[in-house]
Structure 1
Amino acid sequence: MTGPLRPAFHEGQVLAAADLSATVEYARGGAARHARHLHEWGIVEGLGLVTQPRTDPLTGVRHVEVSVSAGIAVDGTGREVVVTEPVVLRESDFEEVNGADQATDEPYPVFLTAADREPAEPAGPVSCSGSATKTRVEESYQILFGRLGDERLAAEQQPPAIGDPPADPPVRWLVLLGYVHWADGHFSGVETVARGVAARFAGVRADTVSARSGALTLRTGTEIQEGGLALVLTGGETPNLVFGLYQGGGAVAPLMTVAANGNLTIEGSFGGRMSAQQHAGGLRHRHRRDAAAAAVRRHPGTGRRRPGRDPRPADPAHPPLADSALFSPVEATVDADRRVRCRVRVYNPSVNWKQPVEQPGAVDFLVLATVAATNGGG
């Protein structure tokens, strides 16, 4: 096996057509391998299915005209497919593939694939021999309609070998653009997702993503939109991780911030199976193991528990759990009397293998103490 062959020239060499073609193919192969192995194939820009309302002049049926917007895609062989201007989809092409189908609400897939064509007009000098052979190849495209379910063919395509150049026709690689609905002999709408398969967009393969500006931002759209989600990783003197929403000027309003020391700040509520109370913008807590329905009493004006009010143990009627027992929390709350209530659901096959039972359980509770500030600020 050999690696890619790079053309080399020397003074006085007679250059044949194959030598010049090899120069072009070497560059094409390198670009294709870069696109194929450092990126995920799919739509790079544009190529959306756009609709315009229409009315059939003969039947009066309202329908839509569907066109593919200009854009670029990279297929799984690393070949670039460029659509330079919008293309209106022809209903006759659809009927040729799916015209015999029964009426259905299911959408049909639309694919883009690369195609080579000879230019309509000569794009370069004619050979001195007077040959009519064209000296240019138009790297064009073809838009295809698939049958119901053909969208899964795109996911089953296999990329070429590591060192292969981009595939040229008749090899065909399908890039899914979306779906069209068909009714009464016309297109009636478009979709981007159907039967769990969405139009595929290009991506990147990387173990490391570095930012030269000191801040790395992730967002779910190509443009900044007010109210859109953003994740910002910031370095420098105050490194942190911010999850928030875009504001009108493009700044990100934090909803959750993780500082470099591990401190977590949340602007909204904190929820889950066991809720936590928020006080003064943060959580201050002290842990203590207690049993279900244990009473927590304090002297007025202090945060100390009253003497003699030790937590009572869990219900002694229930034996210790075996190693094979499974349990999940059912309740972990604090009532208006400051009583901690905890119940768990236990499945203990050594005691009752038919069904789980509920019983009191132990819980870590939070004791929050506050005192009024004195004149001295203490």
Structure 2
Amino acid sequence: MTGPLRPVFHEGQVLAAADLAATVEHARGAAARHARYLHDWGIADGLGLTTQPRTDPATNARYVEVRVSPGFAVDGTGRELVVPEAVVLRESDFEAVNGADQPTTEPYPVFLSAVDRTPAQSTRVDSCGATAGQSRVEESYQVLFGRLGDERLAADQQPPAAGSAPADPPVRWLVLLGYVRWTAGHFAGVEAKARGVAPRYAGVRADTVTARSGALTLRTSPAAAKGQPAVVLSGEDPPSLVFGLYQGNGSVSPLMTVAANGNLSIQGSFSGRISVGSTLVTSGTATDGMLLPLPSGITPEQVAGGQVVLHVQLTPRIPPLPAPSALYSPVEATVDSDRRVRCRVRLFDPAATPAVVTEQPGAVDFLVLAAVAAADGGGGK
């Protein structure tokens, strides 16, 4: 198999139509491979489904007119799809595909696909006045309605071989635009996502991304909107990596900053998985029958599953004595497998008449240490 053929010319060469067509096709193929392999296919700009309220003059029922907004997309073959102006979706086209379905509230997918058309006055007249053939092809588009579930067809499409030019019809590549709802013979609304499938947007494939201004910003929408997240990698003095939220003036308010020396600054609290071998501690005072708390970041599921081992130390507290001559003796100071404290104390006053020994609930000072256990096979037995 040969690689792409680039036309070359020499003085005195008679240029045939095939030579000129090959020049165009070489450029088209190069552009298609660039779009296909350096980018992910999908919607690049616009092409949203919008609605306008309408009233059926026959029934006075309210419905919506659905339009595809102007925009640009690239399909999986590398072919460009340009919609220069808004397109009104025709209800007759929808009925031709889904008109026999039973009434449903499920939304139907809407696709965009490439199509070649012959524009008006695209034929050329030769020197003898005879028609010489078509001289232009309009790289156009068509809007297609799918059946329920057809949105998954878009994910199953496979790109052409590496050396292929952009696909021309009848090869069809579906770009999902969104969904429409249908009620009583009219469009009832639009949806951006249904059954877990949303429109796909164009992306970039790169191992290195550089910024000429000295700062690289990642955000979740084309425009900087107040309250939206952003990540800013700055090479200015001092260099930093900042995660934060946009303010009204377009600047980023830092929530987390990593400085050039590795120092981490956060505005909120820190939580997450604790590393093997680390120990967390909590302490306090508990009375008989209380459940001992776990250190912050430790869950009962981790203890029950053996990922965390607890070590508990209890120290009985001296209760208030009824008289200076009274004696105190701890009877029980334990904790069970549910972390429930059992504490009983015995009081005896030899100077009292009659001398009586009594038992009552007590209190303990506790220390709970949670140690993260090593995973099985971690290097020791």
SS in 2 for 1:142: strand
Structure 1 residues 234 and 188: alpha-carbon distance in aligned structure 2, compared to 1, 3 A threshold = same
Structure 1 residues 92 and 361: alpha-carbon distance in aligned structure 2, compared to 1, 3 A threshold = same
Structure 1 residues 333 and 153: alpha-carbon distance in aligned structure 2, compared to 1, 3 A threshold = closer
SS in 1 for 2:216: strand
Matches within 5 A, 1:24-103: 24-103=24-103
Q: Is structure 2 residue 352 aligned with structure 1 residue 345?
A: no
Cα separation, 2, equivalents of 1:232 and 1:291 = 36
Q: Is structure 2 residue 176 aligned with structure 1 residue 176?
A: yes
Q: How far did 1:4 drift?
A: 0.3
Q: How far did 1:85 drift?
A: 0.6
Residue in 2 aligned with 1:374?
none
| One-letter amino acid of the counterpart of residue 223, structure 2 | E
Deviations 1:198-221 (CA, angstroms, capped at 9, x unpaired)? 011100111111111110000111
Matches within 5 A, 1:94-133: 94-122=94-122, 125-129=124-128, 130-133=130-133
Q: How far did 1:182 drift?
A: 0.3
Deviations 1:40-73 (CA, angstroms, capped at 9, x unpaired)? 0000111000100011010111010000011111
Cα separation, 2, equivalents of 1:290 and 1:66 = 59
Q: How far did 1:223 drift?
A: 0.9
Question: How many residues end up aligned between the 2 structures?
Answer: 304
Q: How far did 1:291 drift?
A: 7.0
| One-letter amino acid of the counterpart of residue 209, structure 1 | V
Q: Is structure 2 residue 156 aligned with structure 1 residue 156?
A: yes
Residue in 1 aligned with 2:219?
219
Would the aligned equivalents of 2:124 and 2:132 in 1 still touch at CA under 8 Å?
no
Q: How far did 1:195 drift?
A: 0.3
Residue in 2 aligned with 1:147?
147
Structure 1 residues 155 and 164: alpha-carbon distance in aligned structure 2, compared to 1, 3 A threshold = same
Structure 1 residues 363 and 171: alpha-carbon distance in aligned structure 2, compared to 1, 3 A threshold = same
Residue in 2 aligned with 1:262?
262
- Taking structure 2 as the reference length, the TM-score comes to 0.74
Structure 1 residues 361 and 82: alpha-carbon distance in aligned structure 2, compared to 1, 3 A threshold = same
| One-letter amino acid of the counterpart of residue 149, structure 2 | G
SS in 2 for 1:256: strand
Q: How far did 1:272 drift?
A: 5.1
Residue in 2 aligned with 1:332?
295
Deviations 1:155-194 (CA, angstroms, capped at 9, x unpaired)? 0011000010000000000000000000010000001110
Q: Give ranges in structure 2 of 5+ residues lacking alignment.
A: 286-291, 307-336, 340-366, 372-381
Cα separation, 1, equivalents of 2:164 and 2:237 = 47
Would the aligned equivalents of 1:332 and 1:343 in 2 still touch at CA under 8 Å?
no
Cα separation, 1, equivalents of 2:296 and 2:169 = 68
SS in 2 for 1:194: coil
SS in 1 for 2:4: coil
Higher strand share: 2
SS in 2 for 1:133: strand
Structure 1 residues 294 and 74: alpha-carbon distance in aligned structure 2, compared to 1, 3 A threshold = same
Would the aligned equivalents of 1:126 and 1:135 in 2 still touch at CA under 8 Å?
no
Identity %: 66
| One-letter amino acid of the counterpart of residue 144, structure 1 | L
Larger Rg: 2
Would the aligned equivalents of 2:295 and 2:368 in 1 still touch at CA under 8 Å?
no
Would the aligned equivalents of 1:82 and 1:140 in 2 still touch at CA under 8 Å?
yes
Cα separation, 2, equivalents of 1:37 and 1:103 = 42
Cα separation, 2, equivalents of 1:289 and 1:71 = 56
Deviations 1:17-61 (CA, angstroms, capped at 9, x unpaired)? 000000000000000000000000000111000100011010111
SS in 1 for 2:222: coil
| One-letter amino acid of the counterpart of residue 148, structure 2 | L
Would the aligned equivalents of 1:344 and 1:361 in 2 still touch at CA under 8 Å?
no
Matches within 5 A, 1:222-371: 222-271=222-271, 293=283, 331-332=294-295, 345-347=303-305, 358=338, 362-363=369-370
Cα separation, 2, equivalents of 1:194 and 1:67 = 18
Q: Is structure 2 residue 18 aligned with structure 1 residue 18?
A: yes
Cα separation, 1, equivalents of 2:141 and 2:181 = 23
Would the aligned equivalents of 2:294 and 2:368 in 1 still touch at CA under 8 Å?
no
Q: Give ranges in structure 1 of 5+ residues lacking alignment.
A: 275-286, 296-328, 335-341, 349-356, 365-378
Would the aligned equivalents of 2:124 and 2:133 in 1 still touch at CA under 8 Å?
no
Would the aligned equivalents of 1:345 and 1:358 in 2 still touch at CA under 8 Å?
no
Q: How far did 1:126 drift?
A: 2.7
RMSD: 2.7
| One-letter amino acid of the counterpart of residue 121, structure 2 | E
Q: How far did 1:358 drift?
A: 4.8
Q: How far did 1:268 drift?
A: 2.5
